[in-house]
């Protein structure tokens, strides 16, 4: 193979040279797990090839089984980011709250982030708000960075909001 001064060599970093970024997803059920995975996929897309990502997914059901709950705990203690995805209609189950308390108590010399992905309530339901308030208080108490994101779970609500926003924009545009 012959190289000339016009040949460009693209350097691709070796995974060993890239910082490791550990992510743990805790999810309530199938739809919330898929939502969290999409969030994770967007994160990877945004950060490109800057990190060597490692993902572990754990359902709330599995966290209740002692052996699996402990394995999830070990992963979360070492994680850079923990994503908690839930509907928020019924609040956090007691065993999940206990798991969160135990997890945050085991974090030493680390500053992970906790992201809560919670369905936006269709009406004035305080359960999602109280769940976010609880998670925020845990984060403040333990020094964890906390980010809350509420999302619409009902496609009809999303479509209605989209239609409403587009109608407002078209009214503004036609009034000019």
CATH code of residue 117: 3.40.50.360
Q: Is residue 86 in some structural domain? A: yes
Q: Is residue 99 in some structural domain? A: yes
This prediction's pTM: 0.75
Find out whether 131 and 94 touch, Cβ atoms under 8 Å.
Answer: no
- Kindly tell me if the per-residue pLDDT of 8 is higher than 60: no
**C-alpha span between 36 and 49 (Å, rounded):** 20
Exposed, middle or buried: residue 89 (CB in 10 Å: 0-12, 13-18, 19+)? middle
pLDDT of 109: 86
Quick one: angle between helices 66-78 and 94-106, nearest 10? 40
Domain count of the fold of the chain: 1
Q: Is residue 1 in some structural domain? A: no
Find out whether 85 and 117 touch, Cβ atoms under 8 Å.
Answer: yes
Q: Is residue 47 in some structural domain? A: yes
In which domain, by residue range, is 33 found? 15-175
Q: Is residue 4 in some structural domain? A: no
pLDDT of 119: 84
Q: Is residue 65 in some structural domain? A: yes
Q: Is residue 161 in some structural domain? A: yes
Find out whether 83 and 26 touch, Cβ atoms under 8 Å.
Answer: yes
């Amino acid at each position: 193979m012959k190289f000339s001064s016009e040949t460009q060599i693209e350097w691709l970093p070796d995974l060993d040279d890239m910082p490791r970024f550990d992510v743990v997803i805790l999810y309530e059920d199938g739809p919330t797990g898929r939502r969290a995975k999409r969030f994770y996929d967007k994160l990877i897309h945004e950060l490109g090839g800057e990190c060597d990502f490692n993902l572990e997914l754990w359902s709330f059901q599995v966290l209740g089984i002692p052996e699996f709950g402990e394995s999830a705990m070990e992963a979360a203690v070492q994680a850079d980011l923990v994503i908690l995805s839930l509907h928020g209609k019924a609040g956090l189950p007691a065993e999940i709250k206990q798991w969160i308390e135990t997890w945050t108590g085991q974090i030493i010399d680390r500053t992970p982030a906790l992201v809560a992905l919670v369905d936006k309530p269709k009406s004035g339901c305080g359960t999602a708000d109280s769940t976010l308030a609880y998670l925020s208080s845990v984060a403040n108490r333990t020094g964890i960075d906390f980010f809350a994101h509420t999302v619409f779970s009902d496609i009809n609500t999303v479509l209605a909001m989209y239609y409403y926003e587009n109608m407002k924009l078209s009214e503004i545009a036609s009034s000019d």
